Amino acid sequence: MLLWQGARLANAAAHGGMSLSPSRNVMLKKTLALLFVIALSTAALAGPSESLEKLLDDVWQWRMQEWPQYATRTGDHRYNDRLGKVSLADADRAAKQDAEFLEQLRAIDRDALSKELRLERDLLERELTDSLADYAAGQHLLPINNRSGFHIQFPELPDWSPFDTVKDYENYIARLRAFAAYTDGHIELMREGVQRGLTVPAIIMEGYESSIDSHVVDDPTESLLYKPFKKFAVGVPESEHERLRREAREAIAQSVVPAYRRFGVFMADEYVPNCRSSIGASALPGGRDFYRHCVRKFTTLDMTPEEVHRVGLAEVARIRREMEDIIDRSGFETDEEDRFAAFVEHLRTSPQFYAETDTELMAYTAAILKRIDGELPSLFGRLPRMPYGLKPVPDYIAPKTTFAYYQSPQGDGTVAGFFFLNTYDLKARPKYMIEALSMHEAVPGHHLQIALQQELDGLSPLRKYGGFTAFVEGWALYAERLGLEAGFYEDPYSDFGRLTMEIWRAARLVVDTGMHYKGWSRQQAIDYMADNSAMSLHEIRSEVDRYIGWPGQALAYKTGELKIRELRELAEEKLGDRFDVRAFHDAVLVNGAVPLVTLEELIREWIDEQAAL
């Protein structure tokens, strides 16, 4: 602490922040030298536990400064007037810092740490290693795809920024002003990507204009980003309203709109014409090695692409048999030779399975969510305090967005978690999938797991607000199946919808590895998905394009779910009548979203402890 205080004094003097006489300057230098010696002595005396705890805090503080929007989402409001630093130099600097953190981490004696701190250490090591591998592969030069990017996320700023005081509004306006430089930084990265042959596939950028053009407005008050100024918080004096509105209009007109316009020109003239015609990651420079890294990163298991592909084929075959059984039980009759295809066509085209209005679909979903809430105590010993809400997917991203997604709560408790449901193109949103979808995105899936993780004691902030995709998505897919234990999926159509969701995740193992490693075409992937699920063709195309733009991420769901189910079966076998599903779920969730290899170690220990009672 003293060393950092001295450093701040020296920095202030060097930059004209204070005026010192020669004698006082000598005194300061002596003081700083003494503080430095004291700090080094303290560091030398610090044990492995103290060293790790300091490093964990250093990493967290670094990320808060470098990722101000993320800081706001976690409830840290020190940097609410800033956006992240984005440029080639900043990407290089961040990678260098990660490498330094990793070197410091590996210098700490792991064997001298407590069990909990060993876990913290191992998770940080994996995270830093993955980050450096992504950088080495040039992933920082691919900051957007068809579903995500700075230009898509920035209009969400009003949804999670605080607006309680004048300062809050001024911070928000500062971020609007910073958007121009933020955009230019992303353009710099993408321009370098074009030069190095690292671009997204051209096919997934079709229709990208809608995510840009809707923000190029003539009247700043029509911008989504002007929304906070249409109605002020009670804590903002009326005398400040007009000034803040004027400054917001100026920031939108002079920074935001020109930046979106400039980005649109860059996309049309430079980027999209140079996007690659191939779709697989293996077509990138060093692509096959990179995809193998993606498999390890997103599954957190030591699996090869070939192994993942085989698991996917086996799971699709198993689930397909269960779907055939449901068709038999449903009493469905047809003269078509391919009974499965006829049943799927019936589901895709029969009006009884689709809502007629947005309001109807939202109300239908809300009723299911309320029923699920009532069953949670029978499955969990501990539930999160933070509530969740239901919202429609915003119009400006709805056409290119899948059926639903989840947005986690803000760390300071001021913003709840939200389940976003896509009401665009209602004929692509079957009601028979809503039960499984709700359990995945809200409870007992994403919201329950993530909100509970943020409320756990004893986790570092890195774990409270982070996590590994295989656990997060694997848990959510596992949560869909819990509906069977809670009395859902009573009619054959909703149960078929559940299996459609499951086979969709299993098919991902096949098509993701197929496209990125085995040379499959986009149409092969679409046909495979269409042949093995009741998803609408619109949804299938949207999903396949998502997999193209995010290599390996889609593998996390099924591999994670299979591991959790495997561990549950092991616990049931070992504990017999003493198995308590509520205790098992609590044990799975109590350490946060850890890698699957770590989860297996922890649950095996828990089983041994329970067996010894």
- Each residue's pLDDT tens digit, 355-399: 999 999 999 999 999 999 999 999 999 999 999 999 999 988 888
The pLDDT value recorded for residue 397 is 85
Q: What integer pLDDT is reported at residue 533 of this predicted model?
A: 83
H helix intervals, 67-114: 68-74, 88-106
pLDDT digits (tens, 9 = 90+) for 346-357: 998 999 999 999
For position 39, what pLDDT does the model report? 44
Strand duo 404-407 + 417-421: pairing? antiparallel
DSSP letter (8 states) at residue 89 = H
Specify the pTM. Answer: 0.89
What is the predicted pLDDT for the residue at 42?
Answer: 45
Asked which of 28-37, 66-75, 175-184 is least confident by mean pLDDT, the reply is: 28-37
Stretch 313-335: mean pLDDT: 95
* Separation of alpha carbons 548 and 142, rounded Å: 13
Q: What are the pLDDT digits (tens) for 460-506?
A: 999 999 999 999 999 999 999 999 999 999 999 999 999 999 999 99
pLDDT at 401: 82
Residue 15: the pLDDT is 33
Q: Are 255 and 154 in contact (CB under 8 A)?
A: no
User: What is the per-residue pLDDT for 45?
Assistant: 53
The predicted pLDDT at position 4 comes to: 26
Residue 46's pLDDT band, with cuts at 50, 70 and 90, is confident
Q: What is the percentage of the chain residues whose pLDDT exceeds 70?
A: 93
Tell me what the mean pLDDT of segment 11-19 comes to. 34
The DSSP-derived string for 457-499 is SS--HHHHS---HHHHHHHHHHHHHHHHHTT---SHHHHHHHH
pLDDT of 3: 29
Task: Answer whether residue 203 shows pLDDT above 50.
Answer: yes
Query: Is residue 9's pLDDT more than 50?
Result: no
Question: How far is 234 from 165, CA to CA, in rounded Å?
Answer: 8
Q: Which two tokens stand for residue 43?
A: 């560091």
Q: What is the DSSP letter of 393?
A: P
State the chain's mean pLDDT as an integer.
92
Residues 6+ apart with CB under 8 A from 409: 386, 388, 415, 416, 417, 450, 451, 454
C-alpha distances out from residue 328 to 246, 340, 343, Å: 65, 10, 10
The answer on pLDDT for 293 being more than 50 is yes
| Gap between the Cα atoms of 478 and 585, Å rounded | 11
Residue 146 confidence (pLDDT): 85
Using CA atoms of 540, 511, 194, 255 in order, give the dihedral in degrees to the nearest 10.
40
CA distance 363 to 491: 19
Q: Each residue of 516-567: pLDDT tens digit?
A: 999 999 999 999 999 988 888 888 998 999 999 999 999 999 999 999 999 9
Query: For position 336, what pLDDT does the model report?
Result: 85
| Percentage of the chain modeled with pLDDT above 90 | 87
Where are the domains positioned within the chain? 1-45, 150-277, 291-562
pLDDT in tens, 216-237: 999 999 999 999 999 999 999 9
pLDDT of the residue at 18: 33
Question: What average pLDDT does the segment 23-33 reach?
Answer: 45
Is residue 2 scored above 70 in pLDDT?
no
Q: Is residue 277 scored above 80 in pLDDT?
A: yes
Q: In the prediction, which pLDDT does 323 show?
A: 96
